[in-house]
Amino acid sequence: MEHCICEANWIGYDGEIKSSPDFICDFVTKKQVKSAEFQITAIGIYKAFINGKRIGRFEFAPGCTNYDKRLQYQTYDITDYIKDGENRLNVLVGKGWYRGRISSNWKNIHNTPCGIIASVNIVYSDGSKEVVITDNNWRVRESRILEDDLYDGETFDSTISDEELETSEKAVVLRNELSKEVLIPQEGEEVWEQEIIFPKSVFTTPNGETVIDFAQNVTGYATFSLNASEGKIIRYKHAEVLDSEGNAYTENYRSAKTEIKYICKDGLNAYKPSFTFTGFRYVVLPEKPEELDDRDLLSGFKAIAVYSHMKRTGYIETGSEKINQLFSNTLWSQRDNFLDIPTDCPQRDERMGWTGDAQVFCKTAALNYDVNKFTKKWCAELRTAQRENGSIPDTVPNFWQLKGNSAAWGDVICIMPWNMYMAYGDKLFLSENFDAMKKWVDYITGDTIQEGLWMTDPEDLKLWGKHYGDWLGLDAPEGSYIGATDPNLIASAFYAYSTGIVVKTGHILNEDVSKYEKLYENIRSIFEENFTELKTETEMVLALFFELTDSPEDVAKKLVTLIREDGYRMRTGFVGTPYLLHALSKYGFYDVAYTLLLREEYPSWLYSVNHGATSIWEHWDGVNDKGEFWSKDMNSFNHYSYGSVFDWVYTVAAGINTKEECAGYKEVVIAPHPDKRLGHLYCRFKSVHGEIISKWRYNGETCVYEIETPVKATVIIQGEEYKLQAGEHFCLTK
C-alpha cells in the first residue's frame, strides 16, 4: 500500500470526555470498492467499528509494548465491511496499559492524553485510490463505558440514549506533538477471545454473596445476557478461590478492584466488558439483582478466556490423573498469562512482564504452544527496555519504573532467545539478540566487586531488586520471600550460564567470541574456588545443572542425601525448582526426580492439585492444610513458574530433545525414562519439522516403548542406542 498510517494525524480532544471516548468519522465511497484496509493505533486500547460492525477480533489492541519507543499499529482488511456510499467509522478507546493504573509510576507514558491515529486506504475497481485519515473531520463523543481500567474493571450505563451520546459530540484536535516515530507494524500474536466456559454452579456463600463457579481459573472476562428492568444494577467482582468458610476470597487481588458495574435498560441486557480483564474462577455478586434467580445467572453468565493466539504443540497424558490435572493447570496458567506479554499473574495489581518468571517458564512454554512470534515480540521489548549500561529491568515493559536488575531475572535476555532458537531453529532469535546478550554479560563484568564472579556488597544486596535470590525458596528465613541460597552464588552461576550462551551463539553466528570464551573458563574455575561449600538444594542444583563443579557425582549424592533427610520436602524456590529434577536425572537419580514429581504432601506439585487447583499456584502452600492462606499480598493462584516442571516431563520422562547442533528438532534424540509409578506416558510434540511421538507403558515388569519421528533420530533406551530414519515407527519391549 502506498499510503500508510504515517500520513495520518494523531487526534485527541480538548476539555473533558467523562467516559471512554468514541471517535467518529463519516466518509463516502465514490465508486465501486475493490479493496479497503484500515490501519490504526491508539494511546490506550481500542475497539474499532465500521457501520456498526467490529473490525477484527484483536482484544486489547494495539497490545502491550514499551510505548515510549514502540507502539504497534494494526492493519485490517475491511473490504467486506465497507458499503457503497456512506460509511461510518467509530473507535472506542479505553485506558489499557498506556493510560491505566498499571502505568501510573511511568509518568510520561501514563500522563499522555488519549488519542488515535488511523487511515482507511481504499482502492476502487478502476484502480484509483482514496485515503481517509484521522484529521479535523473526525468528531469525538461520550460512550456508555463510564469507567474502565485493566485492574479495576468497568462501569457501563446502558440507559444512556443514542441522542444523549450524539449531543455530547465535539470536534477533535490534532495532536502533532505526539510521535509517529514510535509506530511499528503489529509484531506479536493477536490477543483473541479463545474459549467460552459455562458456569458449573451458582450458590450463596455464608456471608450472603452470590457466587457463580466456572470451575476453572481463567483469564479474560465474564459476560452476561439477562432480562432486567431499567435502572437495576448488576455488580460483580472476581475471585480465584473460596476461603475455609466458603466465602469468596478477594484479598489476594490487593488493590485491583476487578469490579463490573452495569446499569440495566428495560428488557434484554447483553454485556461484555471491553477494556478490562482479570484472572478468576468465581464471579461474585455482593447483592443478587432483584428479579433474577440462580437459574437466570447460571444460564445468563459465561466466562471468556482471552489470550494471545498460539497453536498448541505439546500433548501429555499419563497413568496419573493428578499429573494430567497438573499438566492441564500448566497449560491454563500459560494461556492465562500469555496475554500479549508473559506475565507473572493475571489477577492482582501486578500482571507484569516479570523477566524471571518468563525465564524459568519459556522452555516449557515453547513445548506446550508455538510461541515463536509471541516471544520474538517480547524479546524486542527486552532489547528496547535494556538500559544504556546493559542491565535489564525486572519487569518489561517497566511500567513500575523499577530500578533493579536481578540475576536470573535479567538473564532472560540470554536464556529466552537461546531456548527459542533450540525450539524453532530460527536464527533470528540469536542474531537479533546477540548484541543485547553481550551487553548484559558486559554489564555484569562491570558491576561486580570480585572479578570472574557476580559479587555484590552485602549492604547493596539489601536493595530491593538487586537480586531476588531464590525467590520463595522454602529455606527462607522467617518473614522473608528470599530463600537461603547465597544470592552471589546464584548471580555468579547465571553469569556463567549466560556467558556460555553468548559463546555458543557467537559460534553459530560466526562472530568472534574469544573474549567470552576466556571469560567463561575464568568464571567456571573461580566459581568452584570461591563457592567451596554448597549448602542449599538450590546451590547444588545450579552447580550441577550449569556444570560448575568438577565433582558433580559427589554434589548430586549430597543433594539426594539432603532431599531424603528432609523427607523429600524440597526447599527450592523460583530459581532452583525449574532445574531440580534435571539436576537429579542428569546424574542418574531418576527415581528421586520421580518421587518429587509424584509427591502429594506439601511441598509438592500435586499438593495444589489435591486442593482443587485448576492452574499453577505461586506458592506450594497458597492454601495450607488448615485452609489458611499464605499471605494476602503475594498469593496468586495463577503463576506459571512452577509449571516449568513439564519441560522435564517432555525432555526426560518422554525424552524428546532436539540435537543442539540441529536446533529446531531437525534431528532429534529420544531417550525416554520410564517409572512404573506413573504407569504410562504418552507424549506428542508438533515440532516445526513434524510430529514426534514418545510413548511408554508398563506391562507387568517390562516396559513397552513406541516412538515415531518425522526426522532422523537417535533413540536411547536403557543405555542401548538405535538409529531411526525420518518417518520411522519404532517399538520395543524391554
Q: How far is the CB of 482 from ligand BGC (least distance, A)?
A: 8
Best CA proximity match to 538, nearest among 588, 499, 487 = 487
Least distance (Å) between residue 356 CB and ligand BGC: 4
Query: Which residue of 22, 148, 259, 357 would you call a contact of ligand BGC, by CB under 6 A?
Result: 357
Please compute, for residue 494, the number of CA atoms within 13 A of its CA located in the half-sphere on the CB side. Answer: 30
How many other CB atoms are there within 10 angstroms of residue 56's CB atom? 17
Using CB under 6 A as the binding rule, whether residue 356 contacts ligand BGC is answered as: yes
- Catalytic residue, chosen from 381, 539, 618, 708, is 618
129 forms bridges with which residues in the sheet?
Answer: 123
Cα(first)–Cα(last) distance of the chain, in Å? Answer: 62
Identity of the residue, 210 or 219, whose beta carbon is nearer to ligand BGC in the bound complex: 219
Q: Pick from 478, 501, 516: which is nearest to 631 by CA?
A: 478
Give the interface size with ligand BGC as a residue count (CB under 6 A): 9
Strands 210-228 and 301-308: antiparallel
Phi and psi torsions of 473, nearest 5°? -60, 140
Q: Does 471 bind ligand BGC (CB under 6 A)?
A: yes
Would you say 471 or 617 has its CB closer to ligand BGC? 471
Single out the residue of 282, 301, 354, 620 in contact with ligand BGC (rule: CB under 6 A).
354
**Per CB under 6 A, 350 contacts ligand BGC:** yes
From the candidates 37, 350, 537, 708, which is the catalytic residue?
350
Count Cβ atoms within 10 A of the Cβ of residue 66 and give its class: 0-12 exposed, 13-18 middle, 19 or more buried.
Answer: buried
> Contact between 470 and ligand BGC (CB under 6 A)?
no
Instruction: Identify the burial level of 275 via C-beta atoms within 10 angstroms of its C-beta, where 0-12 means exposed, 13-18 middle and 19 or more buried.
Output: buried
Task: Using the minimum distance from each CB to ligand BGC, give the nearer residue, 356 or 664.
Answer: 356
Cβ 629 to ligand BGC, closest distance in Å?
16
* CA–CA dist 582, 578 (Å, integer): 8
Whether 350 sits among the annotated catalytic residues: the reply is: yes
617 touches ligand BGC (CB under 6 A): no
Please, which of residues 402-431 interact with ligand BGC by CB under 6 A?
A: none
Residue 11: how many CA atoms within 13 Å on its side-chain side? 27
Complex with ligand BGC: residue 336 or 357, whichever CB lies closer: 357
Write 540-545 long-range contacts (CB < 8 A, 24+). 540/583, 541/572, 541/576, 541/579, 541/580, 541/583, 542/489, 542/490, 542/493, 542/494, 542/575, 542/576, 542/579, 543/493, 544/579, 544/583, 544/586, 544/587, 545/579, 545/582, 545/583, 545/586
State the nearest-atom distance from the C-beta of 634 to ligand BGC, in Å.
6
Q: Quick one: which segment of 86-94, 344-352, 429-437, 527-535 binds ligand BGC (CB under 6 A)?
A: 344-352
Q: Of the two residues 198 and 464, which places its CB atom closer to ligand BGC in the complex?
A: 464
344 touching ligand BGC, by CB under 6 A = yes
* Minimum distance from residue 217 beta carbon to ligand BGC (Å): 16
Among residues 156 and 640, whose Cβ is nearest to ligand BGC? Answer: 640
- Residue 476 and residue 631: Cα distance in Å, rounded? 15
Site string for ligand BGC, 495-524 (x = CB under 6 A): ------------------------------
Reduced to 3 states, what is the DSSP secondary structure of residue 455?
coil
Q: Starting at the edge strand that comes first in sequence, how are the strands of the sheet with 720-724 ordered?
A: 656-658, 668-670, 713-717, 720-724
Q: Of 83-91, 291-299, 348-356, 361-369, which segment contacts ligand BGC by CB under 6 A?
A: 348-356
Question: Is 708 part of the annotated catalytic residue set?
Answer: no
Whichever of 256 and 683 has its CB closer to ligand BGC, that residue is 256
In angstroms, the Cα distances linking 561 to 537, 552, 564, 589, 624 are 10, 14, 5, 11, 27
Contact residue for ligand BGC among 38, 156, 307, 468 (CB under 6 A): 468
Distance in Å, CB of 542 to ligand BGC, minimum:
17
Q: Which is nearer to ligand BGC, 289 or 356 (CB)?
A: 356
Interface residues toward ligand BGC, by CB under 6 A: 344-345, 350, 354, 356-357, 468, 471, 639
Residues that are catalytic: 350, 618
